[in-house]
Amino acid sequence: MREPLFVKQNSTKWTSFEQSPTDDPDELADRFIQITDDLAYAKTFYPKSKTTAYLNGLAAGLHQSIYKNKSEKSNRFLTFWKYELPLLFKSYHRQLLYSFSFFMIFCLIGALSAKYDENFVRLIMGDNYVDMTNANILKGDPFGVYKSGNEVSMFFSIAANNIYVSLVTFVSGIIFTVGSIFFLFRNGLMLGSFQYYFFSKGLGIQSILVIWIHGTLEISSIIIAGAAGIILGNSILFPKTFNRMVSLKKGARDGMKVAVGIIPILIVAAFFEGFVTRHTEMPVWLSITILALSLIFMIWYVIIYPNKIYKTTQTYHATQS
C-alpha cells in the first residue's frame, strides 16, 4: 500500500485518538494496540517517513496514558494483571521467545556437559549438594532435601531468593542485554545438569513429578525475567526512531512492569516448594494435576490470553471501520 493511501485510510482514526482522549482502560488498551499495529506497518514500509515519526509520538502518548502515575481507581491492581501485563506480553512476544530459546539452548548445553563430563554436575551444583543427594538416594529418599527445615521459613527464604534472582536477571539487562543472557545461561546450565543428574540415576520421571511441582512456575518466571532484561537492554541497543534516552526510559518502565508482574507467580512457586514439594510420596495423579495446571496457566496467561485481547480489539476495530 502506498503511503498516501495508508494515511488516508487511517487519518480520521488517528485524529480522533488525539482530539478525544479517554481514561477508560479498555478503550486505552484498544487504541494502543491499534496504533502499535499501524506503527509496525509504517516502520516496515515507510521507516523514515513523517508518518512513522507521527505514529511513534502518538503511540508514546497512549503508552503514557496507560502507565502514567496518577490517583488510581480501587481496581488498579486488577487492571494491571488483567490488561497491562498481558498487553506487554503481546507487545514483547519476540523478547519472550528469545529468552525462552536462549534458556532452552543453555539447558541443553548443561545436560550435554553433564553427560560427557562426570565432574560437571559438581562444578555447577557444588560438592555438598551432590554428596548430600547421593546419600539421600542411598537412603531411598532422593528428594529429601525438600523435607529439611520448617515449611514457613522455607517458604519465605525461597520466595525472597526467587524474587531476588528474577529482579537481578532483569536489572542486568542494562549491560546491553548481555547481563540478562548471562543469568539465563547460568540458570539454564544449572537446570540442564541438574535434570541430567537425576536421569543418569534412573530418577528422571520421578524428579519431574516432584521438582516440577514448583519448578514449572519458577522456571517460567525466570524466562520472563530474562525477557524483561532483554527489553531493557534492547531499548539501549535499538532505540529505533526514539531518542536513546526516551527509549531507555520506556524499556526500563516496561521491563520493570514485567519483572514486578511475575512476583505473585514466584510467591506461588515458593509456596509449592515450601509446603507441597516436600510430600514426595503424593499420588502421581495429584502431582501431574499440579504440573499440568501450572503449565496450562503459564501458556494461557503469557500467550493465549494476550492474543485473545488482541483479536478482540482487532474485531472491534474492524466493526468500527
Return the domain boundaries, the chain: 3-76, 91-310
Q: Check residue 28 and give its pLDDT.
A: 81
Any residues with CB less than 8 A from the CB of 232 and at least 6 apart, and which? 170, 171, 173, 174, 177, 180, 251, 252, 255
Predicted confidence band at 3 (pLDDT cuts at 50, 70, 90)?
confident
Q: Check residue 38 and give its pLDDT.
A: 87
Q: Check residue 7 and give its pLDDT.
A: 87
Q: Check residue 37 and give its pLDDT.
A: 83
CA–CA gap between residue 9 and residue 3 (Å, rounded) = 10
Residue with cell 512492569: 257
Torsion of CA 27, 33, 37, 38, to 10 degrees: 30
Average pLDDT of the residues of the chain: 90
pLDDT of 316 > 60? The answer is no
CA–CA gap between residue 309 and residue 36 (Å, rounded) = 14
The string of pLDDT tens digits covering residues 70-102 is 445 547 778 889 888 998 999 999 999 999 999
Predicted confidence band at 242 (pLDDT cuts at 50, 70, 90)?
confident
pLDDT of 11 > 70? The answer is yes
Q: Check residue 19 and give its pLDDT.
A: 81
Q: Check residue 71 and give its pLDDT.
A: 45
Predicted confidence band at 6 (pLDDT cuts at 50, 70, 90)?
confident
The string of pLDDT tens digits covering residues 20-72 is 888 777 788 888 888 888 888 888 888 888 888 888 888 888 877 776 644 45
Question: How big is the CA angle at 289 (ends 283 and 292), to the nearest 5 degrees?
Answer: 140
The string of pLDDT tens digits covering residues 275-300 is 999 999 899 999 999 999 999 999 99
What average pLDDT score do residues 102-127 get? 96
pTM (two decimals) = 0.77
The string of pLDDT tens digits covering residues 135-181 is 999 999 999 999 888 899 999 999 999 999 999 999 999 999 999 99
Weakest mean pLDDT among 221-225, 253-257, 317-321: 317-321
| Nearest C-alpha neighbor of 30 from the set 1, 56, 54, 65 | 65
The string of pLDDT tens digits covering residues 198-236 is 999 999 999 999 999 999 999 999 999 999 999 999 999
Going from the C-alpha of 166 to that of each of 60, 184, 233, 245, the distances in angstroms are: 27, 10, 15, 24
Q: Check residue 70 and give its pLDDT.
A: 47
| Residue 224 and residue 302 in contact, taking contact as beta carbons nearer than 8 Å | yes
Predicted confidence band at 310 (pLDDT cuts at 50, 70, 90)?
confident
Residue with cell 478503550: 27
